[in-house]
Amino acid sequence: MYGLIGSCKLNGINLRAYPEYVLTHIADHPINRIDELLPWNVASKLPKQAGPAASIA
């Protein structure tokens, strides 16, 4: 779990949106294409993580 959170942070992925996306798609997803659900492969389909500047404004 720690590794997935770190990958999300490195890729600027919203930490709540990624597990939500995976849990809603994994049941119908073929096991031989499970790598498509890794953070860097779904990043374009998810909202970006808010940066420090966004929290100041």
Range of the domain at 8: 2-48
Q: How many domains does the chain have?
A: 1
Torsion of CA 7, 11, 13, 18, to 10 degrees: -40
pLDDT tens digits, 1-57:
888 888 888 888 888 888 899 999 999 999 999 999 998 898 888 877 665 544 444
Residue 55's pLDDT is 42
Does this model's pTM top 0.75? My answer is no
Q: Is residue 54 domain-resident?
A: no
* CB proximity list for 14: less than 8 A, separation 6 or greater: 8, 46, 47, 48, 49, 50
Q: Is residue 43 part of a domain?
A: yes
- Does 28 fall in a domain? yes
